[in-house]
Amino acid sequence: MSNSVYANSTNLNEVICMNEDATEKQVTRSNKGTSEPNTSGRRCYRLAVKTTDELQKKFSQLIKDINTPGWKYFSSSIYLISTEKKSWSEGRHDCIERGADLVIINSRDEQDFVEVWRRGQGAWIGANDRDSEGVWKWVDGTPVTNVFWSSGEPNNKGDEDCAVSGYRSEPVPNWVDVSCSSKYIWILTDCKEEIKTALKLLQEKLKIFKDCKLNWSQTAEHIKIQAQHTERQIKEQFEKLHQFLRDEEAVRITALREEEEQKSQMMKEKIEKLSRDTSSLSDTIRAVEEEMRAEDVLFLQNYKATVKRAQCTLQHPEELSGALIHVAKHLANLKFRVWEKMQDTVQYTPITLDPNTVHPKLIVSDDLTSLRLSDEKQKLPDNPERFDEYSCILGSEGFNSGTHCWDVEVGDCTYWLVGVMTESAQRKGKIISRSGIWFVWNKDGKYLACSTPQSVTHLSVEQKLQRIRVKLDWDRGKLSFSDPLTNTHLHTFTHTFTDKLLPYLGVYGKESPLKILPLQCSVRVNQIS
């Protein structure tokens, strides 16, 4: 029986190890910064659920296999109670022939289990003082420490050198010493180490997978919350852009309408004047024509007046230059000019923070540029990327070439860290004891430049730092820190970088948050030379 149990456990461990390998590869990929598709996360979660269920079934089946007729499983051991009565030595001989021994009781729980199971009958247990009177030992030679003797027992009368549990019928702990030749049933336990080891490993593995299933369930729920929160932020940001565009559209439509009204009014006035002039000319022409049709004497009498009337004093209508809508003014490079105007409403920060790496006691701003210490821990998934001991966070993008620079406003915070960290460096536990982090550290006005795990340089700072400028020249292997407000150099690390570097921030003071400062943005048009 025990061999088949061990075989089942071995096969199961092979299955478990395969699943662990898959999980380890997933974690390794995650630590290296590669983003797995969402479908992969869901697939891993389903795998954890399936594997946990399979482990539970395997565990239940193993217990069922152990509990063959007469045998019972309890606390990583299996027990059998005899159906016949024999002396202590005969009972033990039977146990040994079965590859077991008389029961050794090491705890109150085990004693209670035995008492209930013996059903009111006295039963031999593995305790005796046959070698030395009064020195009670178990069959494996260990001293009897957890004792459940009846009152006045052991009394060491005569040859009473063997222990019986349940000398009386009541189901209470009541060991007594009796003659080893007396006849009782006996309880044996199979203590083969391979069975106990297999069961223990299986139980431990089952707990690991149950914990993993719970953790991934919480992660799945956190993903939903993240998606909802991120969607809301996206909509809010686009609503601001939409509102800006709506306002800009309204301004430009208003300008167009004003120009239309102005030029329409001008045309109306010109047309009205032209109408008046036309009417006046028509009247003059009609009057002259009537004079010309008059009799000669009358015509001659009015000749001078008629000639004067026939002379037109009206100016020719002026050309309508600029009368049309200035379409180009409204449409030329419209999108570019709107984009250019948007500079006043948008900001650009050279780095942003990755909320998936933040320690639960830190809170990241919605725009991912500010970090502050909270009074309480947030409920966040314990994913491989997240810091769990140090109150730190990483930037969302890393650098493996080129020159990069960013400013961090530390304000009145009295305890902070600013620097870079390799992407492959561990984020769990005491990260400062491992290599891969370079940073400037302020604690209550004491400034240090540190390179893990051991290098520490004290910095001479004349006045309290409000801002820190970090400049990374990855190719030349230089990482410099300075005060941009006073243009004072603080420290430069030199190192041959081989790994991607991520911005690294830590906050331990509540006086003010740490903030990544935005850059001044401008839109420039390059002329063709």
CATH number at residue 116: 3.10.100.10
Q: Count structural domains, the chain.
A: 3
pLDDT number for residue 323? 85
Verify that 438 and 330 share a domain, yes or no.
no
Verify that 339 and 385 share a domain, yes or no.
no
pLDDT number for residue 410? 93
Name 86's Cβ contacts closer than 8 Å, sequence gap at least 6. 94, 183, 184, 186
Looking at residue 526, what DSSP letter applies? P
CATH of the domain at 390: 2.60.120.920
Q: Using 70 as the pLDDT threshold, list the residues of the chain that sit under it.
A: 1-70, 76, 118-119, 167-173, 190-199, 288, 291-292, 294-315, 529
> ∠ at Cα 502 (499, 503), nearest 5°?
145
**Considering only CA atoms, which of 503, 481, 507, 485 is closest in space to residue 412?**
507
Name 187's Cβ contacts closer than 8 Å, sequence gap at least 6. 79, 80, 81, 82, 102, 103, 114, 117, 118, 123, 124, 125, 165
Verify that 410 and 462 share a domain, yes or no.
yes
Verify that 292 and 394 share a domain, yes or no.
no
Verify that 376 and 478 share a domain, yes or no.
yes
Verify that 178 and 255 share a domain, yes or no.
no
3-class SS of residue 53? helix
User: Do the domain assignments include residue 48?
Assistant: no
pLDDT number for residue 253? 94
Name 5's Cβ contacts closer than 8 Å, sequence gap at least 6. 62, 65, 66, 195, 198
Verify that 374 and 482 share a domain, yes or no.
yes
* Position 132, amino acid: S
**Average pLDDT over the chain, rounded to an integer:** 80
Q: Are strands 123-128 and 467-473 parallel, antiparallel or unpaired?
A: unpaired
Residue at which a domain ends, from 344, 373, 405:
344
Verify that 309 and 414 share a domain, yes or no.
no
User: Do the domain assignments include residue 484?
Assistant: yes
Verify that 334 and 395 share a domain, yes or no.
no
User: Do the domain assignments include residue 409?
Assistant: yes
CA atoms within 13 A on the CB side of 405: 9
User: Do the domain assignments include residue 202?
Assistant: no
234 vs 370: CA distance, rounded Å? 18
User: Do the domain assignments include residue 56?
Assistant: no
Verify that 244 and 276 share a domain, yes or no.
yes
Catalogue the E-assigned strands of 221-368. Answer: 362-364
CA atoms within 13 A on the CB side of 455: 15
Looking at residue 151, what DSSP letter applies? T
116 vs 104: CA distance, rounded Å? 16
pLDDT number for residue 67? 55
Name 526's Cβ contacts closer than 8 Å, sequence gap at least 6. none
266 vs 463: CA distance, rounded Å? 67
Q: How do residues 89-124 score in pLDDT, each as one tens digit?
A: 999 998 888 778 899 888 888 888 887 776 678 899
pLDDT number for residue 307? 63
Q: How do residues 150-173 score in pLDDT, each as one tens digit?
A: 888 888 777 889 999 876 655 555
Looking at residue 149, what DSSP letter applies? B
For residue 98, give its domain range.
77-191
Verify that 370 and 511 share a domain, yes or no.
yes
507 vs 371: CA distance, rounded Å? 8
pLDDT number for residue 29? 38
Residue at which a domain ends, from 283, 311, 344:
344
User: Do the domain assignments include residue 437?
Assistant: yes
